[in-house]
């Protein structure tokens, strides 16, 4: 790591554009996750895996939700821990705005009853899914920001690949365990909505979803480097004003 000071004005405009773009990507992915939560996906595997089976079962929201970790890691790297935490927690509150808007639209009288019913079926996730996803989001996203910056501080800003993979891998593990446990075990048991899943099925769901999320985390690492390189020209770290060789 070198210690050449660089004038902030050289990257201010680019960082401002990047900040808006990453915020937009994070919110877009999060809203998409809310709107696709009702569909359950069954992704076939090339070979059957022990416990997991021949396919990975996961909510449709999982694919869009994985994109939020990519956006938050880029955002945390470029704009700092505090800014990333604000983004994550404000977005959590805005989740309720999305739910309220969707719910109010569903409750409003529709011109065509068949279309209204199809609309409700497609856009109204169950109470169990909502509870599981909101709790998982709040804990896992804040953990992601915390671990990302703990590693960043410990390694003096080096090894972006390490903090991206470690923070995403651990936070996605937390997210998966909380979501599946709450949505398919705790909420049905406590609220009486549906039947709790058997333990072996729950374990299979967790392992299958986590394997897919690990793959996504590994694939997105080069793209994190690309975004940071574009928005941090010459290796400039906007949090310190120094050139960093990462």
Q: Which of 187, 184, 174 is nearest to 213 (CA)?
A: 174
Between 26-35, 47-56, 156-165, the lowest mean confidence (pLDDT) is in 47-56
Neighbours of 243 (CB within 10 A): 17
Q: 170 lies in a domain?
A: yes
Q: 57 lies in a domain?
A: yes
- 167/164 Cα distance (integer angstroms): 6
Half-sphere exposure of residue 181, counting CA atoms within 13 Å on the CB side?
A: 8
Count of domains for the chain: 1
Q: Which domain holds residue 40?
A: 8-241
Q: 217 lies in a domain?
A: yes
Pairing relationship of beta strands 53-59 and 40-49 according to DSSP bridges: antiparallel
- 190/226 Cα distance (integer angstroms): 45
DSSP 115: H
DSSP lists the bridge partners of residue 41 as: 58
Q: 2 lies in a domain?
A: no
Give the pLDDT confidence score for residue 172 in this predicted structure. 92
Write out pLDDT tens, residues 169-224: 999 999 999 998 998 899 888 887 778 888 888 888 888 889 888 888 889 999 99
Q: 246 lies in a domain?
A: no
Write out pLDDT tens, residues 72-124: 999 999 999 999 999 999 999 998 998 888 888 888 888 888 888 888 877 77
Full-model pTM: 0.84
Q: For residue 142, name the pLDDT band (cuts at 50, 70, 90).
A: very high
- 150/81 Cα distance (integer angstroms): 10
- 180/201 Cα distance (integer angstroms): 10
Reported as type and span, the H/E element at residue 121 is: helix 113-123
145, 84 Cβ separation under 8 angstroms: yes
């Amino acid at each position: 790591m070198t210690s050449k000071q660089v004038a902030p004005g050289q990257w201010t405009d680019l960082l401002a554009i990047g900040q808006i773009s990453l915020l937009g990507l994070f919110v877009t992915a999060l809203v998409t996750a809310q709107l696709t939560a009702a569909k359950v996906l069954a992704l076939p595997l090339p070979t059957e895996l022990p416990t997991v089976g021949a396919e990975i079962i996961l909510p449709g929201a999982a694919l869009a939700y994985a994109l939020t970790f990519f956006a938050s890691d880029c955002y945390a790297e470029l704009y700092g821990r505090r800014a990333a935490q604000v983004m994550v927690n404000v977005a959590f509150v805005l989740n309720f705005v999305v739910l309220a808007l969707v719910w109010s639209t569903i409750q409003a009288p529709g011109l065509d009853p068949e279309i209204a019913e199809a609309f409700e079926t497609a856009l109204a996730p169950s109470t169990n899914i909502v509870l599981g996803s909101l709790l998982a989001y709040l804990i896992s996203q804040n953990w992601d920001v915390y671990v990302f910056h703990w590693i960043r501080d410990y390694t003096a800003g080096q090894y972006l690949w390490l903090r991206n993979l470690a923070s995403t891998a651990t936070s996605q593990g937390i997210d998966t365990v909380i979501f599946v446990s709450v949505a398919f075990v705790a909420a049905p048991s406590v609220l009486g909505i549906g039947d709790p899943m058997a333990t072996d099925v729950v374990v299979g769901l967790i392992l299958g979803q986590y394997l897919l999320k690990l793959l996504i985390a590994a694939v997105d690492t080069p793209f994190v480097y690309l975004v940071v390189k574009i928005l941090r020209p010459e290796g400039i770290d906007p949090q310190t004003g120094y050139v960093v060789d990462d």
